[in-house]
Amino acid sequence: MKMSGLTSGGCTTAEAVPLGSLRAGQRGLVGDIFGNSEHVHRLREMGLYDGAPIQMIRPGSPCIVCLRGQRLGFRMDDCACVMVRPIGVAS
């Protein structure tokens, strides 16, 4: 995986991947959301805005994520529409 040049607080930020590809416990920052305008608007209203921190609790279908202290479940087709930039501690 190619790493971008962005760093923050000793962490590195990777290129965007679909939300569904995060592993349990892995964190990321929400990026783009693809789909029709109504679908994108609904996901944005739920808190999936650009730069929002998110953590995968349980991958799969439905996946469970932690977003702003709340646990939310998403179908796999919703996960494929949401791009995240995984973050991890730099080694």
* pLDDT values of the chain reduced to their tens digit, one per residue, 91 residues: 333 334 344 444 578 999 999 999 999 999 999 998 998 999 999 999 999 999 999 998 889 999 999 999 988 888 888 999 998 744 4
**Are the C-beta atoms of residues 30 and 54 closer than 8 Å to each other?**
yes
The fourth-level CATH superfamily of domain 3-89 is Ferrous iron transport protein A (FeoA) (2.30.30.90)
Neighbours of 45 (CB within 10 A): 9
Domain residue ranges in the chain:
3-89
Task: Please state, in angstroms and rounded to a whole number, the distance separating the CA atoms of residues 6 and 78.
Answer: 27
pTM: 0.76
